[in-house]
Amino acid sequence: MSFALPLGQSDIEQYLPHRRPMLMLDRVVAFDGESIVTEIDTHPDSLYFDGHFPDNPIMPGVIIMECIGQSGALLAALRGDVDHRKNLLAFTGFEKTRFRKFVKPNETLCVFCKLDKKRRHLYKFSGRAEIDGELVMQLAFSAALAAK
């Protein structure tokens, strides 16, 4: 499939069931059918910065994991594998997760996600997140397609 890039949030909503405040992805900047690159703007008024931590706001690691996971789900949807109106692509496991750097407000998190393997309704992905080319997190995760 080919798309006019970048895709914005209203485009992303056509493929994912998530909505604000849990829709994390702001843009798709690259897609080739086997991998995707997305961007997330870390706004200072994001809910997670309020309490994590008030005097030193840091994006929680699980939120970064969610960003990578949403990127994988979007990759599968853009490939035509998933219709969010009928199915849900849900996490089944995380492996090899490494945290390398904090993510602060007013930064752009760049997520790279690759489909490593697909077998029927099971998916394996690898992903990483970067800020200005510096590695923030890397992980591998699996997901399964389930009926709603």
Catalytic residue among 18, 52, 84, 121: 52
**Under a CB-based contact definition with an 8 Å cutoff, are residues 89 and 142 in contact?**
no
Gap between the Cα atoms of 18 and 61, Å rounded: 19
Omega of the bond leading into 60 within 30 degrees of 0 (cis): no
Q: Is 18 a catalytic residue?
A: no
Buried b / exposed e over 35-74, threshold 16 CB at 10 Å, is: bbbbbbebeeebeebeeeeeeebebebebbbbbbbbbbbb
**Under a CB-based contact definition with an 8 Å cutoff, are residues 126 and 112 in contact?**
no
Closest among 39, 36, 48, 144 to 88, alpha carbons compared:
144
Residues known to be catalytic: 52
